[in-house]
Amino acid sequence: MLHNHGMKATPSIVALALGFLTLGPLCAGPAQAALSGDTASVHDDEIELRGTVTAVAHFAGFERRTLSTDTGLVINEFLTPAGTVFALSWSGPVLPDLRALLGRHYSTYVAALGQFAQPGLKRSLRISTADFVMESAGHLRAFVGHAYVPSLLPGGVPLRDLPW
């Protein structure tokens, strides 16, 4: 299910948004751990982003690692007890590299954007499939969002309990 809030069609806006998606990763820096990645990929993020894991919090049934960069981007990676990234959240002045962040789910994201009549640069987005959920909002210098894989959610951990 895709929700588009108040958008109308113009080819130039679609081209601008797709161009923005292409440039977004260049602005944000190197890759982040992909959804369904493992603990080793979280450590790789710290090196590649030249960021720092600023917090590791343990909750009943999962762990949250928070990575902060000099650009002000904050990425939370939620891991199962087995070390699999089952959810991610981001906030900051730049859009993270969604191709790397979403991993194999990036193609679902791109397909959903293709359904927008006018994506624009300021919007909210919700994508919901059986295997992938993403909510994102923002505009230049203020981006927020989260994504998760419902089938990887640890047993006994309600989604509402995630400290996005």
What count of other Cβ atoms lies within 10 Å of the Cβ of residue 163?
A: 11
- Kindly give the pairing relationship between strand 74-79 and strand 62-68: antiparallel
Angle between helices 106-114 and 11-28 (to 10 degrees): 150
Q: What is the pLDDT of residue 139?
A: 85
Q: Which of 136, 76, 148 is nearest to 112 (CA)?
A: 136
Q: What is the pLDDT of residue 38?
A: 79
pLDDT tens for each residue of the chain, 164 residues long: 444 443 333 333 333 343 334 334 334 443 345 788 877 766 666 766 667 888 899 999 999 999 898 899 999 999 999 999 999 999 999 888 888 888 889 999 999 888 876 656 557 889 999 999 999 999 889 999 999 999 999 999 999 989 99
DSSP letter for 38, please: B
Q: Which of 125, 6, 33 is nearest to 88 (CA)?
A: 33
Q: What is the pLDDT of residue 145?
A: 97
Say what the pTM is. Answer: 0.75
Q: How far apart are CA 20 and CA 26, in angstroms?
A: 10
Q: What is the pLDDT of residue 101?
A: 83
